[in-house]
A and B are shown apart, each in its own frame.
Chain A
Amino acid sequence: MPDDETTLLEVGGLTKTFEVAAGASGRTALRALDGVDLTLGRGETLGLVGESGCGKSTLARVLLLLERPDGGHVRFSGVDPFTLRGKDLLAWRRRVQMVFQDPFASLNPRLNAAELIGEPWRTHRDLVPAGKRAARVRELLELVGLRAADAGRYPQEFSGGQRQRIGIARALALEPDVIVCDEPVSALDLSVQAQVLNLLGDLQAELGVSYLFISHDLTVVRHIADRVAVMYLGRVVESGPTEEVFGSPAHPYTAALLSAAPSLDAVREGGRERIVLTGEVPSPVDPPSGCRFRTRCWLAEDRCAQVAPVAEARPGEPAHHAACHLPLEPVVAGAPR
């Protein structure tokens, strides 16, 4: 976990409830975030994993100030961005940017590459002087592995991987400290996905930018993330350094998720015992009492229904937290999975 010096972003006890229609009976509350704690260090990649409906996109939207949380706090370099107004708010927005999932839907087809990349400067006018913008666009294009000559081409003239590079260049145009990447490679073909992952790694090494990397693909997260947080029904159930969490999960849900994900490594290593969970994720409108995962957990006991477990560090792994009454024992290195 990053210490005070290097912490860029800190989130504590974050809650967010939406009102949703509940058929003829009126409206009901959907608690999308239910006490989320996270930290993100400078130059670090935090992987955020979980199944659909777990709250990962809501969390990203709160961090981008697109949603106001009901409770808890967000601190960015020690400042609560929700208290900012006017110029200060504008300056803050520049520092957190986003790369979207679908490069076919997220780029305006009527703007060419140069206009797409330079568009953010129309809002943040002081960042790059008008006379230097064309040169800066060319630099950014080359930085993301496109050619300066591509500046005049339109999105539909690029392949999916090239479009995602434009999306990344556009995010970088504002020189952000954090880029929220929401499933940035899931729409791309495997061979192209590897190119984009390499690019994200190179850019981080060069620019020191932090990534919040949201993905359902555990193989990709394991490759790119320094630390990882696993969400289930609005709560972070486990977090810690990627190798500690993925190598030896403490929360049964993480173990099940890892075991369910198809993996070439596992086949190469001669197979494994698979945990196939019964049922599906319960509706966030009517979540189970106590531990949210207990309805699908093979270890659950009475107290799991009564008391919601709080995140605790695993003995010997101070940065590795899990919210479970019955955490799994650490896997001994070298033992069969």
Chain B
Amino acid sequence: MTATMEVDGLSVDIRTPGGTIRAVRGMSFAVHSGQTLALLGESGCGKSMTAHAVAGLLGPVADVAGGEVRLDGVDVLRLDPAARRRLAGPGLAIVFQDALTALNPVYPVGTQLAEPFRIHEKLSRRAARAKAVELMERVGIPEPRSRAGAYPHQFSGGMRQRLLIAMAVALRPAVLLADEPTTALDVTVQAQIMELLAELRAEQRMALVLITHDLAVVAEQADHVAVMYAGSVVETGPVAEVFRAPRHPYTRGLLDSVPSGAERGGRLRSIEGSPPELASLPAGCAFRERCPLARERCATERPPLVETGTGRASSCHYWKELADA
């Protein structure tokens, strides 16, 4: 199966007053149409930065320092700005975490939802508006015809997230990036939004990249997972296999940190310490200072992401010890 989108060796630098920091250090992953890939990692691991680089939305102080993002074989990072903009919508679309700041407060939502149709499909105002109402209905907004004239602040958090999803899928993108789409929402609403995303993915045969810090969300929603630590992928593979038998000590540490109903009240096996500062990463393996398996080689040699089985890879020198255990 060919990948719809392949990210290969992507690096992103951030310029700070204290010097340049490499926030994304050689990220590689692939996602297929109709499937969900989860980018899993803790705060500061570079998962949002990766999504923004892929979508061409890096801020003024961040630059792509290397790598390729191939969409159906074409490297979108090499496209000129106009060609890149034409892709935003039909090629790649993004759903942001905070739906209130992502919507424009001074335009009615119907106008904002009609915009992609006006710009990309050159539809008339009336036709675009009709499409917008249709979309609102599809994502489950009650009374879409009358609500199209309402402003973002007149909607609840869950409804705003539906609007944002509607806007992102309006032009049937090949790849949808969803950056923590449910973290700001209540649990019962979260479940509704995840269900909507899964339906749309199946309906439109989209490739969905789900960016999250929540292991349970990954377990329930994703086909494949790429676990990130300090700006790169440390382990990747089918979710069920990775979660059943992790082949990187960081993945294992994360899984052990989740309270389990079976051992209520007992001690949780946490990972010692906290994630490293990107400005002062240790030499060799970035995880070694927190790693129970670390030895001398880890301090000098940065472990590459190597294949450990069909569709699985790990960047640990000693992954075999985990696999055999």
Contact = CB atoms under 8 A, between A and B. Distances in A.
A219 B216 contact: yes
B20 interface: no
A193 B257 contact: yes
Interface stretch (A109-117, A194-202, A304-312): A194-202
Interface string A169-205: 0000000000000000000011111110110010000
B270 A257 contact: no
A96 to B, nearest CB: 24
Given A191-B42, A194-B268, A201-B267, A265 B187 contact: no
Q: Which of A192, A201, A256 has the most CB of B within 10 A?
A: A192
Given A190-B257, A191-B270, A198-B270, A51 B188 contact: yes
B254 A197 contact: no
Contacts of A161: 274
A222 B259 contact: yes
Contacts of B217: 262
Contacts, number: 119
Given A216-B187, A260-B188, A276-B191, A189 B258 contact: no
Contacts of B256: 194
B18 interface: no
Contact of B191 (A192, A223, A274): A274
Interface residues of B, number: 41
Given A189-B42, A194-B268, A219 B259 contact: yes
B128 to A, nearest CB: 28
Query: DSSP majority for the B interface?
Result: helix
A280 B156 contact: yes
A333 to B, nearest CB: 13
B213 interface: yes
A194 B269 contact: yes
A191 B271 contact: yes
Contacts of B243: 264, 267
A76 B103 CA distance: 47
A267 B216 contact: yes
A23 B181 CA distance: 30
Interface in B164-219: 186-192, 195, 213-217, 219
Interface in B271-289: 271, 274-275
A264 B244 CA distance: 11
Contacts of B220: 262-263, 266-267
Contacts of B59: none
Contact of A192 (B159, B186, B259, B274): B274
Contact of B188 (A193, A264, A277): A277
B158 interface: yes
A265 B274 contact: no
B262 interface: yes
A265 B261 contact: yes
A159 interface: yes
B219 A190 contact: no
Contacts of B257: 190-191, 193-194
A243 B261 CA distance: 9
A256 B187 CA distance: 9
Interface string B233-244: 000000000010
A222 B43 CA distance: 24
A159 B271 CA distance: 14
Nearest to A218: B187
A162 B273 CA distance: 10
Interface in A212-228: 216, 218-220, 222-224
B265 interface: yes
A207 interface: no
A160 interface: yes
Contacts of A222: 259, 261, 264
Interface of B: 42-43, 156, 158-159, 186-192, 195, 213-217, 219-220, 243, 253-262, 264-265, 267-271, 274-275, 290
Interface of A: 51-52, 159-162, 189-195, 197-198, 201, 216, 218-220, 222-224, 242-243, 246, 256-257, 259-267, 274, 276-278, 280-281, 296
Given A190-B215, A197-B268, 18 more contacts: A51-B186, A51-B187, A189-B213, A191-B290, A193-B270, A194-B257, A194-B269, A198-B268, A198-B270, A223-B265, A224-B259, A246-B261, A257-B188, A260-B187, A261-B187, A264-B216, A264-B260, A276-B191
